[in-house]
Chains A and B, each alone.
Chain A
Amino acid sequence: MTILIGIALVTLGTLIGSFGALFLKLGSKNFSMSPTKIIRNWHLILGCFLYLVSSIPFIISLKFGPLSVMYPFVATSYIWVTCLSIIVLKEKMTFFKWLGIISIIAGVAFIGLGS
């Protein structure tokens, strides 16, 4: 039961982190090294913030179960990032991306069942 709380926390972390990655991508379009432009680039700042925040649920989750179970669930972020880049960034779904997502879901399921 405690492992399930841990898994839920990791998944929450990866969801937040994926939104972070999305905003970093949006912010990278207007990126330049000038500090005044970096401060005004709210996509970039929000992306960094979400990325940092995403590690909090992950670290707390480690109190609920072994690292060798919790860490593989970090791979679920690839599922969210792929979904978000298709919905928001209008990227195309490819055969390999489908294969990747299915394989990660299966892998995570094996980790969950094996623990």
Chain B
Amino acid sequence: MIKKNKAVSTPILLVIFATAFISFAQILYKIGSLQLANTSGGFSALWLSIIKDYPLLLGLAMYAIGAVLLITALKDGELSILYPIIALSYIWVSILSIFFLHETMSFMKWIGIFLIVLGVSFIGFGRKVDTQRIKRKRSKQRRRRR
């Protein structure tokens, strides 16, 4: 019982950290994207502006850390719990873009965010049902082999 609890809580912590990294990375992407050269200036100009774009590079690094944490968590976590936590990143990014980028959130946009969080959570539930079915099938096959 204790072992089971431990296996559930570690992926949850990992996913919370992952979404924090990924959400902050989006803010850095946005700040960095404004420093990028126009694509009309040619590819060499674009590459040069990427190398000098520190917010963007920092954002990419944070995203990479977040992605690794996410993959580790999803490997042995409970999808129906992890997906809703991942989906919360849509709320964090909205709040962060109000604070850091001075963007405005209309009522319509909040409804949209709410529906997306709900939708991603539903897909998490759907995948959980899938993995349970696959696991049941595998254990049945194993029993048959014995």
Chain A residues close to B by CB (< 8 Å): 55, 58-60, 62-63, 66-69, 71-72, 75, 78, 82, 91-92, 94-97, 99-115
Contacts and interface: CB of A to CB of B under 8 A. Distances in A.
A104 B119 contact: yes
Contacts of B112: 72, 106-112, 114
Contacts of B60: 55
A25 to B, nearest CB: 11
B68 interface: no
Interface of B: 26-27, 29-30, 32-34, 36, 39, 56, 60, 63, 90, 93-94, 97-98, 101, 103-109, 111-127, 129-130, 133
Main secondary structure of the interface of A (DSSP, over half): helix
A100 B123 contact: yes
Given A59-B56, A75-B90, A104-B123, 9 more contacts: A59-B36, A60-B33, A62-B33, A67-B29, A71-B90, A72-B116, A92-B133, A94-B130, A107-B117
Contacts of A71: 26, 90, 93-94, 97
Contacts of A102: 119
Contacts of A115: 106, 109
A72 B120 contact: no
Contacts of A100: 119-126
Contacts of B124: 100
A68 B103 contact: yes
